[in-house]
A and B are shown apart, each in its own frame.
Chain A
Amino acid sequence: MLTRLLRTYLRPYRRPITILVVLLVAQTVGNLYLPNLNADIINNGVITGNLHYILDTGFDMIAITVLVGACAVIAIYYASRVAMGVGAEIREALFTRVQLFSARDMNRFGTASLITRNTNDVQQIQLFLQMALTMMVIAPIMCVGGIILAIHEGAQLSTLLLVAVPVMTVFIGIVMVKVIPQFRSMQTKIDRINEVLREQITGVRVIRAFVRSHSEADRFAVANEDLTSTALRVNRVFALMLPTMMMILNLSSVAVLWFGGRLVSEGSMPIGNLTAFLTYILQILLSVMMAVMVAILLPRAAASAERVQEVLLTVPEVSNPPHPVRPLSQSGAVTFDSVSFEYPGSERPVVEELSFTFEPGETSAIIGGTGSGKTTLLNLIPRFFDASSGRVLVNGVDVRDQDQETLWVSLGIVPQAAYLFSGTVASNLRFGRPDASDEELWRALEIAQAKDFVAAMPGALEAPIDQGGTNVSGGQRQRLSIARALVKRPSVYLFDDCFSALDASTDARLRLALKEGTTNASVVIVAQRVSTVMHAERIIVLDDGRIVGSGTHRELVQRCAPYREIVVSQLGEGAAK
């Protein structure tokens, strides 16, 4: 998955990557050549007392050092450009893809998970790429180059590498295999602690009301103890890592001098080569360390790449028809023609055989208990879901035959959970129609019973709104969300149980104003409160996904037993007469 993803996204960067590799090769070769020159200084300069030679070679070394430094800096430049560029492109690809997702696609992944994929997962890939583009290139060249040169300096001595390199690799491998799962279990325990603390904060009222502080403290103590002992174990094992690696490096040097020393004394190896060999063996072992450390990042990056690909390869469930049909008018008529909807693989449909029409200029209401299918019914209109059988028509055309953009233009939605975007009151109200005038905004606010509190906010229309609308109360949020739909002036309004946070008198005033403000549109209100729906021209009573009654409040009270039951429970016996 990782290679596939990277192959796609690295393709445009072929040139910078080629330059990068050339530079890194040059840099590494230069670094490897330096000890060679040092050996020459000793063999040809120091031993023979040739001071000129020492100086000349010294200048060569300086020149190479400067070149190596320049190569390294330019290489880092390209590596950062490529790694961060690829990251940015993956982020954009993810974001644009999710924009095409249907409601069900969103549900399948979950909002939180999609956010992490766009942030943490991309970051993992980016980090890996940055490391890989430098170290993954350097390490093999340095390792192979080091081995070749080491053999060149002393072929017999290089058999030492056959011991040192595997010992180093195996050791780091063992520590990693042992430590990484422990790190993961430590993370789970940190999560556990955070969960307990989170509960203590969010549930503070319940905990105190039920006098449970002590047992909460016990729960925390257990989690804390658990984390501490795991962290202790992990860190103690981890403390072994660096000293052991240094020990392997240093003992290798000792071994080189011991075996090399005998070769030197036999005269089969010049002493200058020995010092060069010492440097090479260190470089080889360091490159092994480097490679292993990058390799540690690999599994995480691969897992992240998989999660990213999963999103990128998802074909949105709802897509535009190849030949969209344009409705002839924008009257606002919505017709359900024996519509059923069920989730794939579920035993029972959520809604079944629904047939009715919402007429323009009329207010229709849908009432029913939780799980009766009210919201599902509403979601079929903007194609958040597609009907399993039957047809939903908006403006006389099946929604599946319309271009989604065209369909959405005619709809104004007020969801159950009012959600505002960060910005200002005005920017939120203009969400559906960026060119609306201030007068239009105030008109909408007036209908939504939000004029007074907006006028009282510092800055009025320009008052700042936090993400999600958390800086206004729930009731205010709902009213702004209603005003937002009004500014859009659609031909169909869909209100999904959005009056619940309003007190009864505000609710009543709003409904009255709404009636006047939406004269030619069809208005659909979903609610649980009888007082909200009782004035509607037509009320549809849903129970278990089926229509059990349809008519005015008066008619339903007479004829429809489930409706009567609701009325009695909410308004008392007297209201049902």
Chain B
Amino acid sequence: MSMGPMGAMRGGAQPLGRSKDLRGTTRRLLARLHPERFKLALALVLGVTSVGFMVSGPQILGSATNVLFNGIIGKRLAPGTTKAQAIRQLREHGESQIAAMVSGMHLTPGVGVNIDELGRVLGLCALVYLAGAAFNYLQGFTMAGLTQRVMSNLRRDVEEKLSRLPLRYFDSHSHGDVLSRVTNDIDNLTTTIQQGLSQLITSFLTIAGVMGMMFWISPLLAVVSVVTIPLALVVTYFIAKRSQVQFGRQWERTGTLNGLVEETHTGHELVQVFGRSEATVAEFREQNTQLYEASFRAQFLSGIIQPSMQFIANINYVVIAVLGGYRVASGLLSLGAVTAFIQYSRQFTMPITQIASQMNLLQSGVASAERVFEFLDAEEESPNEDRDSPVALKASAAGQVTLENVCFRYEADEPLIEDFSLDVAAGDTVAIVGPTGAGKTTIVNLLVRFYEIDAGHILLGGVDYAELTRDEVRRAYAMVLQDTWMFAGSIGDNIRYGRPEASDDEVLEAAKAAHVDGFVRTLSDGYATLIDQDATNLSSGQKQLLTIARAFLANRSVLILDEATSNVDTRTEVLIQEAMASLRKGRTSFVIAHRLSTIRDANVIVVMDQGRIVEQGSHEVLMAKRGLYFDLYNSQFAGVAT
């Protein structure tokens, strides 16, 4: 039957993962089904009912065969005699074999097939099959609703978790890994539960039902068949285990090969100019051959499961046909029972191959579940609910930021910021400078409370951060980050990101101020132009401008500009600096930039090196010091002197 190999292949098509704690994860997975336990029980009842109907079908069909057979044999006997007389007559004619068979049959000599009875039996049979199908459908229907609700809730939980995780989590885990947990693993788990659960239940119920019927009809034949079942299970298990190893190898090699393809295509021009085409092709060929070998073995092994099952089923069939024929001939069994039996034995292999393929699927599903649960268990940020009576920040003092003896470390044993104090009056500009990797973003992380300080105080408008919620703190800031992140949506919506309720005029005003308006007008849909996921349809300079417009519109009292203009082209930069100047007007700003012009105008310059603050003061003060700032400043002019 076609289900076997398809199921096995689907099972193999999932990247296989091994779970570390099978039992624990399974228990948690079951716990998630708990709210749906009544539906699950209902589905189970429906499943049992359906299987009950389905397995009694062949038995009824068998009795229809008996009605026919009785008629045929009965017609051969002399009419008017009783059954006992007919048997005696047969024995006298030396047909003891047939006599024995007739003795086991319910027939009236001389009377042919009872068509009315045949009709009654077959009518019942059709009803039973219809009922079985109906209950089977209802079971599937119930299960679909149940699994979808469970998965929907799991997705919701994962999403809520995302918003409760501290920034530290995102910085210490690769985005790819987090993304893969919340997308691929969830998808994989959904597939498993959707297909696996329902089929597994039906498969086990069918095996139980069929086995019960077989024993009821003929214990002897049943025992013969029951011997072949463990055989089928063992064969399936052995082959499946081996093919699983090969599937694992296949996925591993697919991964390696995809890596090579990705790498070579991404660095295409380098490969060409550095004369590496031939060497790369040779490497590809070698890895491709390895993949071919592994995938051949995987396909072959999983492919022979089905013929092996077929083989065992056929042997079973032959044994039943021969043994059954023998027993019918000896009058110990009816022909209908044998035909019913043959049908049952044919129904047997399907659930077994299905269980085998579901096991593969289930295993990778549990591994995914484990990764999802691991994610859900990650440590969360301290709860920070919006309070009923928010602390009122005085508008006049809103831009005032004070840092008092602030200490902070990413790692407990690596001191970073120790005892740092800084008083920034409303409207001041603070420049943060330092070589690459000096940790300038650490200050930003603390100011907007992406990370919590270990000791000291940060005050906003005279109010301690400790008395404010994170959201209240953040509502005071607008940021232009180095990473020009845009979300998939229109340009207008992206500009509005910090203030969704802004009117079109306000958007236009901000866009003009950030010199975005010019290029947006050249786009076919203007402000309604959609930005795709990675904003690939905008240049890096244009993205930077958009983030500036976004900050403009957000209209917050404190501004953070993180290397904001390093990617903007030289001509627009002149315009941006004007815009920045007007944006900074009346606002407190923290600027992280390589630009000398911004640094010189700053009220305070904070110089950082290797994650720590090394100098602090105005341009003149720091130049006079002849320290790190002096070096940094002068290196910009290196080579000009000649």
Contacts and interface: CB of A to CB of B under 8 A. Distances in A.
B61 A553 contact: no
21 contacts: A46-B101, A51-B97, A54-B325, A65-B314, A72-B304, A77-B300, A95-B288, A115-B265, A195-B488, A203-B487, A206-B481, A211-B474, A228-B148, A235-B147, A250-B129, A251-B129, A251-B130, A286-B1, A384-B269, A509-B638, A535-B639
A464 interface: no
Complex A-B, nearest 4 residue pairs according to Cβ-Cβ distance, in ascending order: A239-B140, A49-B97, A265-B113, A72-B307
A23 B371 CA distance: 45
B325 A45 contact: yes
A231 interface: yes
A129 B162 CA distance: 42
Nearest to A45: B325
B183 A194 contact: yes
B497 A210 contact: yes
Task: Bin the interface of chain A by size.
Answer: 35 or more
B569 A275 contact: no
Contacts of B179: 194, 197-198, 201
B71 interface: yes
A264 B574 contact: no
Contact of A49 (B98, B263, B284, B631): B98
A467 B65 contact: no
Contact of A293 (B6, B126, B275, B310): B6
Given A80-B303, A286-B1, 18 more contacts: A34-B317, A34-B318, A51-B329, A76-B303, A85-B296, A115-B262, A197-B179, A202-B485, A205-B481, A213-B163, A232-B144, A372-B569, A422-B259, A473-B437, A503-B436, A503-B632, A566-B570, A571-B596
Contacts of A568: 574
Contacts of B261: 95, 114-115, 118-119
Contacts of A210: 474, 478-479, 497-498, 554
Given A46-B325, A228-B149, A508-B639, A80 B300 contact: yes
Interface string A25-59: 00000010010001001100111111100110110
Contacts of A193: 155, 183
Contacts of A488: 274
Interface stretch (A254-262, A335-343, A390-398, A440-448): A254-262
A543 to B, nearest CB: 8
Contacts of B307: 69, 72-73, 76
A239 B118 CA distance: 33
Interface string B135-168: 0110111011101110110011011101100010
A114 B300 CA distance: 29
Interface in B449-495: 450, 470-471, 474-475, 477-479, 481, 483, 485, 487-488
Given A91-B288, A271-B72, A258 B119 contact: yes
Interface stretch (A154-162, A216-224, A345-353, A516-524): A216-224
Contacts of B170: 201, 204
A87 B631 CA distance: 60
A561 to B, nearest CB: 12
Which of A57, A135, A369, A415 has most B Cβ within 10 Å?
Answer: A369
A488 B1 CA distance: 61
A473 B436 CA distance: 10
Q: What is the predominant secondary structure among interface residues of chain B facing chain A?
A: helix
B432 to A, nearest CB: 14
Interface in B49-66: 50, 54, 57, 61, 64-65
B318 A61 contact: yes
A242 B635 CA distance: 75
Which of A57, A194, A290, A503 has most B Cβ within 10 Å?
Answer: A503
A209 interface: yes
B65 to A, nearest CB: 7
A247 B6 CA distance: 21
Interface string B565-603: 010111111100100000000000000001111001000
Interface in A244-287: 244, 246-247, 250-251, 253-254, 257-258, 261-262, 264-265, 271, 274-275, 278, 282, 286
Contacts of B270: 413, 415, 419, 431
Contacts of A209: 448, 474, 477-479, 481
A152 B579 CA distance: 91
A246 B351 CA distance: 14
A374 to B, nearest CB: 10
A502 B436 CA distance: 7
A505 interface: yes
B143 to A, nearest CB: 7
Contact of B187 (A190, A220, A221, A505): A190
A76 B299 CA distance: 8
A220 B284 CA distance: 41
A382 B273 contact: yes
B192 interface: no
B479 A206 contact: yes
Interface in A51-105: 51, 54-55, 57-58, 61-62, 65-66, 68-69, 72-73, 76-77, 79-81, 83-85, 87-88, 91-92, 95-96, 98-99, 101, 103
Contacts of A501: 436
B456 to A, nearest CB: 22
Interface string A401-440: 0001100110111010001011000000001101000000
A370 interface: yes
Given A198-B533, A370-B569, A65 B318 contact: yes
A365 B98 CA distance: 108
